[in-house]
Amino acid sequence: MESTPKIGTELIKDHVRQLPATPGVYRMSDANGNLLYVGKAKSLKKRVNSYTKIVGHPRRIQRVINATTSMEFILTETETEALLLESNLIKRLKPRYNILLRDDKSFLHILIRKNHSSPQILKTRGRRKKAGEYFGPFASAAAVHRTLDTMQKAFLLRNCTDATFANRTRPCIQFQMRRCSAPCTNEIFPEDYNLLVKQATDFLRGNSSDLNEKLNREMQEAASHHDYELAGDLRDRIRALASITANQMVNPAHITNADIIAIEMISGVSCVRVFFFRGGQNWGEKAFFPRHDKDTSPEEILEAFLGQFYENKTPPGLILLNKQIAGNALLTEALSLRAGRNVKITVPSRGEKAKLVENARINAANALQRHLAATTSRKNQLTGVQKLFGLLTIPSRIETYDNSHVSGQHAVGGMVVFGSEGFEKNKYRKFNIKNTDMNAGDDYAMMREVLSRRFSRLAKEIEQEIAEIPDLVLIDGGAGHLSTTMQVLKELGLESQVKIVAIAKGRDRDAGREQFFLPGKKPFRLAHNDYVLYFLQQLRDEAHRYAIGVHRAKRKSATIKSPFDEIPGIGPIRKKSLLAHFGSAKQASGASLADLEAVKGLSKQTARTVYNWFHEQ
């Protein structure tokens, strides 16, 4: 007779006996293999032993303990390493009961490349693959574009690609607009261009106190020698530099590099607002709404936020908070290790720093109030949808589908997802139509393929007990689309598990005259001023926008072809090597056989193929 698998405290007691009293990270999972919680400990034995009793823990941890059927452990050398690993695992695996930072995509940076004789200035996001000096983070694309625009006016650095730079024979329009010094055609001496690069770098580092004085002296000197064109150029550069700080709402006098972070809570919901100051300049701010239980304290949320927020970012030398956190010393050590220099985390009590933190707290409170108002409105909309279509519960996942094509060419399907927090863009899906036997523009056949692929996968996920079943599926179309959809669901045995509604545009495609089609019911309309109609139009329009965007991207990639695409044996990797070596297909087409053989990744036989192709053409 098989013994009953252990669960909860009984299972945890078995693990405690074998654990060492060393630092590490632990993971707790349920019977379905779903990750419940990730934690770190200075002593794994002591921390895990605390879970052998239910009492004394917050409700969410009690739920974790009761549901745990398996645990995994990773030993680390120090508690600091455990903290860094814990933050990484929480961000990557998103355990159900951890405090979770959401919407934390990588921030934009400004890069001044240093692997070229005439360095380029550009914006960049994500991994730091290119050699050079990075400045950031910037909280928004608008902040980056504004700063880059000003930097070009002030320092005249190029923003063109190396391939464009190498093929210029005369200055481009950027030079005519006095936004570039045109090093590509030697309109400026290399040493003078490098001086501009140094000035730009110093400015972004915050070491620009002497720059304005120097430019003013040069402007006065040029004017005294009646060189009014040069004096005018210097005047424009001075104005451009002044505009950077003039456009900023908060300008600290004694802070160069710091992040100001404040948390505010209302009714168990929190907002963390982060302000970025670099080089003495305000580079923007961003609001975050972490996921957590309502009874979690602000201090606990803020501590978890910091660990996850800096998991993929280099922290500045100073971090100012509005709440004291218990793990300040450990977090300081971990962030200093990540930054490669000392990092200080503090809660200021007076002076300029305290005013900055209070300003961040006020902004967090305002953002939270707007978020709660939007959440209430969203809940009302979802409740209206529930009543309109007779759903058993308020929908937490609505999927909307649409197709896009031009006469059947480059056909795609799009799925957008709306959840309790709004549109969940990381869950959007695109479907390239693969059926070549259908008639061109057969919208029903396209929808059949899209839905068959989507719901076949859902059926498998239901068997594995890992499915997110949509509460409502909205199809952009009429009775024919509804019929097609129901046939697909019936074939997969899902017709009773998924609620389907088709929404068709009214006569003359007027917004407000949409008809709704449900299985076994007559089509109906809603009043043109019904807030539920407006919400459903938003869902339909977002699916339409997404499908068209995917279609246009596919059509564009098909029309922009490289001569390399037609050469036998040249795939994406070799194409990339050729472009990296020569800069363009045009340059490669005129290359000698010896030059082609020198390309990394090309054999002599392949180089001969490329050479013959271009010369035979």
pLDDT of residue 332: 93
Sites in the chain below the pLDDT cut of 50: 1, 246-250
Tell me how long the chain is: 617
Count of Cβ atoms closer than 10 Å to residue 246 Cβ: 9
List the structure tokens of 147. Answer: 């700063």
258-370 classified as CATH 3.30.420.340: yes
Tell me the pTM. 0.65
Indicate where the chain has its CATH 3.30.420.340 domain(s): 258-370, 397-557
Among residues 347, 176, 145, 329, which one has the least CA distance to residue 247?
Answer: 145
CB-based burial, 186-198: b 16+ in 10 Å, e otherwise = eebeeeebeebbe
CATH of domain 9-93: 3.40.1440.10
Indicate where the chain has its CATH 1.10.150.20 domain(s): 563-616
pLDDT of residue 248: 46
Fold type of domain 397-557: Nucleotidyltransferase; domain 5 (3.30.420)
| Pairing state between β 258-266 and 269-278 | antiparallel
pLDDT of residue 464: 72
Cβ distance 336 to 343 under 8 Å?
Answer: yes
Indicate where the chain has its CATH 3.40.1440.10 domain(s): 9-93
pLDDT of residue 1: 41
The model's pLDDT over 329-357, given as tens digits with 9 standing for 90+, comes to 999 999 999 888 899 999 999 888 899 99
Looking at the structure, give the CATH architecture of the domain made up of residues 563-616. Answer: Orthogonal Bundle (1.10)
Among residues 498, 450, 454, which one has the least CA distance to residue 477?
Answer: 450
